[in-house]
Amino acid sequence: MKGEKLDTIKNLIRTIPDYPKKGIMFRDITTLLADATGFKKTISGLCEPYVADTVDAVVAIEARGFILGGAVADRLGCSFIPLRKKGKLPYKTFKQEYVLEYNSDTIEIHADAIKQDARIIIIDDLIATGGTAEAAVKLIKLIGGEIIGAAFVIDLAEMGGRQKLESIGVGCNVLVTY
Ligand code: AMP
């Protein structure tokens, strides 16, 4: 995606200092989603690296990942698999704990969500330390998925998440970097 379009996306992201706690610069994508052109460009940018590839499913992370991941799956013509916070999925699940920039949590996936060797892309709004995405990678591999990449709107570069994912063999595509 060209620099001009990426600038449009970056300009629509709102930064809220000291949320949810002091010292965190919260990158708020609600202002981007509220702009029809910005939202469309974002979905195009997330899909672009994979349009010529075979993608069987998008795995997206609750909650902001769902907004983007659903649209990406529709655009790529593949299925959508939710990774949810603990206790939200009704059927048998596998769980993975992870540490965030400002708390820790557990995500779950339905035990039968992924067909063996299905080609998966991971979608979320932002990668910081990479802890959440790494937990997603572990769950997807555990139930037999083949991860062909991960895409994020925002990379908080100094948090090192992208390198962490790439060091475990997952290529990342990001639209804007802070
Ligand atoms: P991490 O696991 O550290 O890569 O954190 C990524 C997850 O935490 C994403 O799902 C983000 O939505 C959220 N997150 C972490 N840091 C921020 C931030 N500074 N602004 C907005 N969301 C964040």
Which of the residues in the chain have pLDDT under 50?
none
pLDDT of residue 58: 99
Distance 168 CA to ligand 1 centre (A): 19
Ligand 1 centroid to 171 CA: how many Å? 18
pLDDT at 104: 87
Q: What is the DSSP letter of 21?
A: S
Q: What is the pLDDT of residue 101?
A: 61
Q: How far is the CA of 158 from the centre of ligand 1 (A)?
A: 13
Ligand 1 atom with the smallest distance to the CA of 29 is 21
Residue to probe by mutation, ligand 1, list 59, 68, 101, most atoms within 8 Å of CB: 101
pLDDT digits (tens, 9 = 90+) for 14-63: 999 999 999 999 999 999 999 999 999 999 999 999 999 999 999 999 99
Beta strands in 67-159 (DSSP E): 79-85, 93-99, 104-110, 119-127, 146-155
Active site residues: 64, 101
Whole-number pLDDT of residue 102: 64
Nearest to 38 by CA among 153, 151, 177: 153
* Protein residues whose CB sits closer than 6 Å to any atom of ligand 1: 24-27, 61, 64, 100-101, 124-133, 156, 161
